[in-house]
Amino acid sequence: MKVSGSYFFNATENKNETSLARTYFTGGDSLQIYKENSSRISKNMNHRANLRMEYDIDSMNRIIFTPRVSFQHNESNRLQQANTRDQDSALINSTSNTNTTDNNGMSFGGNLTYNHKFAKKGRAVSVNLSSNINTREGDGSLMSNNQYNDTLGLPVTDITDQRYDLTSFTNTYSANVTYTEPVSEKAQVMANYAPSISNSESDRQTKTPDGNGEYTVLATDLSNKFNNTYNTQRGGLSYRYNDQKVMVNLGANYQQAILDGESEFPQVYSVNKTFSNILPTAMINYRFSRTQNLRFMYRTNTNAPSISQLQNVPDITDP
């Protein structure tokens, strides 16, 4: 048995301060002067560990197991102050925003692969099982004070004060079976089948202060609880040719994906969609010499929407 592993760690802290001044000429002797000062502090910490175990049952069979785990923590604090004045230094509008976030995430999963070679040279089958679990917890706050004049020229003050908590969970399971059949000394035909299923849950609660200054009032327009399932079935054929000068790989997959989503709060509704796609692939590599080659590659794929993209929650972190 062969065993290898790796561990990665990094921690960063970034500080960024920006000062901005702009002058807008609005016609005649009129102008507007915009000034902005902003600062941001962000901290990130990452841990990643990987392990690879290879076991040769015999000369025709091999098992490979690759587990992995990672942890992440990030936090940020952003302060922005800006105002616009006319040529006489009279205030037109102003804004002051403070935004904080604090998030923790964990991911763990692995791949289990079984390879079998048949007695006929070039004939083989491979089975791969994969799983991954992601969790995330976080909270944040937003304090915004905007001052401006309405259409009647009267001063208006718009204050936003909120805090939110977010929890999300995603687990994904997939498999891939590939059968390879030689059709000549230099060519092979491969058939593959790959099902997968992904389940996601996300709960975001945003609250504003009550009369006592406690954050107990739920902002329903900024809160949401959503569940999502994404199921795919993919299969296809490919052809590979390889000699000393040219390597060609042509193939196509057919994929059907079913998206089922359900909102539990603040509104109860469901989303059901089915997508069908043909996904061609092509790769041609021509070797001019041992150090020179020309490669053409064409790939197609689909990406499932994340649960945060499906949630009907507006982003007002930059009011």
**Distance, CA of 313 to CA of 292 (rounded, Å):** 52
pLDDT of the residue at 319: 54
pLDDT of the residue at 316: 58
CA distances from residue 284 to 51, 176, 179 in whole angstroms, order as listed: 33, 24, 22
**Distance, CA of 115 to CA of 128 (rounded, Å):** 9
User: Can you point out the beta strands (E) in the chain?
Assistant: 2-27, 30-58, 61-86, 91-117, 124-149, 155-182, 187-209, 215-218, 224-242, 246-265, 269-287, 293-298
**Distance, CA of 310 to CA of 257 (rounded, Å):** 16
Residue pLDDT tens, the chain, 319 long: 999 999 999 999 999 999 999 999 988 778 999 999 999 999 999 999 999 999 999 999 999 999 999 999 999 999 999 999 988 888 899 999 999 999 999 999 999 999 999 999 999 999 999 999 999 999 999 999 999 988 887 889 999 999 999 999 999 999 999 999 999 999 999 999 999 999 999 999 999 999 898 999 999 888 999 999 999 999 999 999 999 899 999 999 999 999 999 988 888 889 899 999 999 999 999 999 988 999 999 999 998 888 778 877 666 555 5
Q: Which residues contact 119 (CB under 8 A, 6 or more apart)?
A: none
Architecture, CATH, for domain 2-9+43-75+97-310: Beta Barrel (2.40)
pLDDT of the residue at 314: 64
Q: Which residues contact 262 (CB under 8 A, 6 or more apart)?
A: 226, 227, 228, 268, 269, 270, 271
- Return the structure tokens found at 269: 């509704």
CA distances from residue 117 to 57, 111, 159, 185 in whole angstroms, order as listed: 12, 20, 68, 16
Rounded CA Rg of the chain: 28
pLDDT of the residue at 186: 92
pLDDT of the residue at 315: 61
Residue with tokens 């790959």: 194
Contact (Cβ atoms closer than 8 angstroms) between residue 262 and residue 270: yes
**Distance, CA of 230 to CA of 234 (rounded, Å):** 13
* Residue extents of the structural domains in the chain: 2-9+43-75+97-310
Strand partners, 206: 164
pLDDT of the residue at 152: 81
Q: Give the predicted TM-score (pTM) of the model.
A: 0.81
